[in-house]
Structure 1
């Protein structure tokens, strides 16, 4: 009698409850996958934005004292190559350091559960198996260099086919402004932040970088230093 009463008091699960739990699990999985994807996508957007602003500012600075199109293009190309190499090397070193830390942590956790030489060998084997899911320094370096190069190509392409000095400067500013707005909007979407404020912040920051570089270079160039 008691057993039958306890069985009646037990919660009953219907097909609707099972479907709801399954849908919730799928939603959590999708959100987790989106979070992982958004991290490297957002990093790529930031890298492209860095290449855009730094190269455009460098070209505007040189353009403040040199009106020759070849000088501006060569300066922008040098900035693209130097910046891409710097980003790649910096990202490679950073990710490799993170990889060493995570591998050491995996080894310590494995050895805590067991003792002896057999545990050491097992920990090294597990480390090899889990290494596939850890960050890849070469991939991170290549992605950073590529993202920087994509952003740096915008001012280069905008200035490459315009011989008139003033028109060329305004073309660079216009192309960079449009790209900054797009990158700011995309970064906000990936980070689930307000799009208008983020785009405006990135756009104003890029304008300030170009204006400061142009103004200071113009000032130093006009003083004869």
Structure 2
């Protein structure tokens, strides 16, 4: 007597296949999400982020402090704007050159250390490892560009905010207010890019900027009264 596959067994097998395919799709989606998340190299990002943060913060704080310092002894808006523009150009060039020299030096030191750690006489395999190590090292040109551009962007905030204000007191208040706002924004952006605490980042930026502006204004005011 011929026997066939029970209908219930066929249905169970079919259901099992459907469930198995569904699980595979879910696993694939989870894998893709995990790969997308872990594919972000935050250490690599930190290399240019450091230069950009340093440049933006330096441009914003130094130029605003310079303008406020000049404003402490001269109420003329032209003097503040000329000082701010000179600070922007000089600072951007100085940051770019300094960053290029510093990162190049760091790159050469790390390459030398890697060569000493690896026995280069072996050849082949070490050459491949050397190329992988080079990819993780800081890029001098990238750091230079990030530093110069971010410095200029930061410096433009106090410079533009004071350009169309004639009243002396209002001009100083606006520069301080816009600088404080920009410092808070920079802090949030940096925290978002680096996946760090936003409030702590904003507080660090704000406190540093306020201290720099206060010291510059106070010392320049004191010096101006003596001469």
TM-score normalised by L of structure 1: 0.76
Map residues 46-57 of structure 1 onto 2, 5 A cutoff: 46-57=54-65
Q: Does 1:162 align with 2:128?
A: no
Q: Distance in 1 between matches of 2:129 and 2:45?
A: 28
Q: In structure 2, what is the Cα distance between the partners aligned to 1:82 and 1:52?
A: 13
* 1:189 to 2:192 alignment: yes
What residue in structure 1 maps to residue 102 of structure 2?
A: 94
After superposing the two structures, state which structure 1 stretch, 127-136 or 86-95, moved more.
127-136
Gaps of 5+ in 1: 1-13
> 1:30-71 CA deviation, whole Å, 9 max, x = no partner?
334251564123541332112101110111011000111111
For residues 15-36 of structure 1, give each alpha carbon's deviation from its aligned partner in whole angstroms, at most 9, with x where no partner exists.
7489648845752563342515
Map 1:1-150 onto structure 2 (within 5 A): 16=23, 20=27, 23-24=30-31, 27=34, 30-36=37-43, 38-39=45-46, 40-41=48-49, 43-108=51-116, 111-112=119-120, 114=122, 119=123, 134-150=137-153
CA distance in 1, matches of 2:222, 2:95: 30
- Kindly indicate whether the alpha-carbon contact (under 8 Å) linking 1:107 and 1:124 is maintained by their aligned counterparts in 2: no
What secondary structure, in the 3-state scheme, does the structure 2 residue paired with 1:219 have? helix
> What is the CA–CA distance in structure 1 between the aligned matches of 2:176 and 2:78, rounded to whole Å?
18
Could you report, residue by residue, the CA deviation over 1:145-182 in whole angstroms, capped at 9, with x for unpaired residues?
Answer: 11111101100001111122111111111111110110
Task: Out of 178-187 and 102-111, give the one that drifted further.
Answer: 102-111
User: Hey, what does 1:4 align to over in structure 2?
Assistant: none
Pair 1:97–1:161, CA change in 2 (3 A): same
- Runs of 5+ consecutive residues of structure 2 not aligned to the other structure: 1-19
Q: After alignment, is 147-156 or 96-105 more displaced?
A: 96-105
Q: Report the aligned-residue RMSD.
A: 3.1
Cα distance change of structure 1 residues 113 and 29 upon mapping to structure 2, 3 Å threshold = farther
Give the CA deviation at 1:133.
Answer: 6.4
How many residues are matched? 206
